[in-house]
Amino acid sequence: MHIATQPNGANCALSGADGFAAEVSTPATLQIPHKAAPITVACSAPGYRRTVNTLNTSGSGWLWANTAFIVFTGGGAVLGMMVDEAVGASTSYRRDFNMDLDADAGRRIRATQRNGGPTFDLKTP
């Protein structure tokens, strides 16, 4: 799977089921086990808000092919479906995962001086 962010160079922590964990700097390509789904992807970069997304699997073509074989063979292809399910071939991740990070906009703070001086606005970084 290829993971990319806008901006490039974000640090991403991935965690999922069955103890799966990985840390990458984008863009990156990595292998993710099928049994790790769902996977939480948390990315951050200087000047941008931390962004979290979930990565799920979807049914692959083998799932539909095995179902068709079962129907046409009267149940004779059940073994193939059981093997595919055991090795994770019935589900797959999408090839590319892209995530846009939002710029970390500073907050405006209204400040009043203690000595009764003028009020002014501050912007946090």
The mean pLDDT of 49-64, rounded to a whole number, is: 73
Q: Looking at residue 43, what is its pLDDT?
A: 96
Q: Is 11 exposed, middle or buried (0-12, 13-18, 19+ CB in 10 A)?
A: middle
Same domain, 20 and 42: yes
Same domain, 34 and 5: yes
Q: Please tell me whether the overall predicted TM-score, pTM, comes out greater than 0.75 for this model.
A: no
Kindly indicate the confidence band of residue 48, based on its pLDDT and cuts at 50, 70 and 90: very high
Same domain, 103 and 117: yes
Separation in Å, CA 27 to CA 9, 88, 101: 7, 26, 13
Same domain, 39 and 100: yes
Q: Is the pLDDT of residue 85 over 60?
A: no
Same domain, 63 and 124: no
* Domain boundaries, position 18: 1-57+94-125
Q: Is the pLDDT of residue 55 over 70?
A: yes
Point out the least confidently predicted range of 1-5, 6-10, 118-122.
118-122
Domain tally, the chain: 2
Q: Looking at residue 69, what is its pLDDT?
A: 52
Same domain, 80 and 66: yes
